[in-house]
Amino acid sequence: MEVGMSTAARISRQVGLMCDAPDAVAAWLRERGEPVVGEVSIARVGFGQSNITTVVSAQDGHEWVLREPPPGDRAESAHDVAREAHIVTSLAHSDIPVPRVIGTGKTPAGNAFFVMERVAGSALESEADAGALSAGQRRELGLEVIDTLARLHTLDPATVGLSDLARPSSTPYVGRQIRRLTAAWEHMGQQTPHHRLWDSVRARLAASLPADAPTVLIHGDFRLSNLLVQDCRISAVLDWELCTLGDPLADLAWLLDDWRQPADEVISMPSPTRAGGFPERSELLEVYCRETGLNADRIAYYRGFSQWRAATLLQGVAARRRSGLLGTHGQLDLDQLDSTIATLINAAAAELETV
């Protein structure tokens, strides 16, 4: 069964394909054997600026999560929800906690979506969320976070049917990322005041690509706000759209850069670890290396890459915000967002000075 709405309605509502079609969503779920009682309501959740997440709620309290690409976005490889559904389904057979996938579908316009069960728990998206936990609970959770990432990076992709994520390319993961992000920046960042320093960092990154980096299953956006937590334990890892076979230290650096300390400069994207009480970055790094057996001597390079990557992605968010395509959900102050982009590029340049 297909679920749809007009493109004009989709962009004007800014909440995704499904919010205007609750009856069709309910019928789609029932066809797949889900226990839908009465009518359903649909509401967008989360702070994410990429694939749209909505919660489908039935009258008896049963809930499902629906994922679909953002309106107006043509980056199919980055927002391929059918691919994401395949990854989550495959990981159900591992020790990485993920939701159960109900199924995938397409609208008459060809837009894909997939639906998962809603797992108990909530994401820590802000300092206030983290503040609800004791300092001891934050420390315990932080160690579980790094343990989960280490388990993902030591998981054999073949054992869970994800060997097909391998790229038919001899270019290392970081090199591929630099090439893709550079192409994106050319469309949205060249005329900004950040371009000169951004390009200088890009050149330095490209000139010293890691040699012989291992290839493992990586998440691509592993951070606290993409984890569901219940009773201080991780109940599910979410948002697998960027998962691929790639460089584990790039995944680790992304987590470390999001793991902002209370004394770190405030940026647009909220960071729950600024509440304090979480393990220090140095401890996370030590635990990770011990559990994976990997060498992280070049972590400064990867952190520079991670900050440069974040700045590039945020420039895309800023461009879509200014176009109006992302609506008001999770809206960011554009001046603060611009300042954050500058902060990240400067931090990347400073990090590379230590390499």
- Are the C-beta atoms of residues 104 and 82 closer than 8 Å to each other? yes
The per-residue pLDDT for 258 is: 96
CA distances from 295 to 76, 132, 141 (A): 34, 35, 24
If DSSP codes are grouped into helix, strand and coil, which group holds residue 230? strand
Domain end residue (candidates: 59, 89, 117):
117
Q: For residue 166, is it left (φ>0), alpha (ψ between -120 and 50) or beta?
A: beta
Q: Determine, yes or no, domain membership for 2.
A: no
What pLDDT is attached to residue 317? 86
For residue 122, being part of any structural domain is answered with: no
How many domains, the chain?
2
Angle (CA) 178 179 180, round 5°: 95
**What's this model's pTM, rounded to 2 decimal places?**
0.88
pLDDT at 44: 84
In a domain, 63, yes or no: yes
pLDDT at 72: 54
What is the structure's pLDDT at 53?
A: 86
Inter-residue contact 142 to 286 (CB < 8 Å) = no
143 token code pair? 């160690």
CATH classification at residue 110: 3.30.200.20
CATH of the domain at 279: 3.90.1200.10
Cβ proximity of 67 and 81 under 8 Å: yes
Handedness of CA 48, 51, 56, 62 (dihedral sign): negative
Instruction: Mark whether 95 and 229 lie in a shared domain.
Output: no
166 and 261, same domain (yes or no): yes
Q: CA 181 → CA 30, 175, 202, distances in Å?
A: 41, 10, 10
Domain boundary among 83, 117, 151: 117
| Residue burial 127-155, b: 16+ Cβ < 10 Å; e: rest | bebbeebeeebbbbbbeebbebbbebbeb
Instruction: For residue 80, give the nearest of 69, 72, 92 by alpha carbon.
Output: 69
So what's the pLDDT on residue 16?
Answer: 42
Q: Has residue 126 been placed in a domain?
A: no
pLDDT at 168: 73
Averaged over successive runs of 10 residues, the pLDDT of the chain (355 residues) comes to 38 46 90 94 72 90 88 54 94 96 80 91 94 96 98 97 85 94 94 96 97 94 96 95 96 97 90 96 98 97 98 90 58 84 97 94
Report the phi/psi class of residue 138: left, alpha or beta, with left for phi > 0 and alpha for psi in -120 to 50.
alpha
Distance CA 133, CA 165 (A): 37
pLDDT of 275 reads 96
Token couple for 25: 């969503």
Structural domain including 336 reads: 134-352
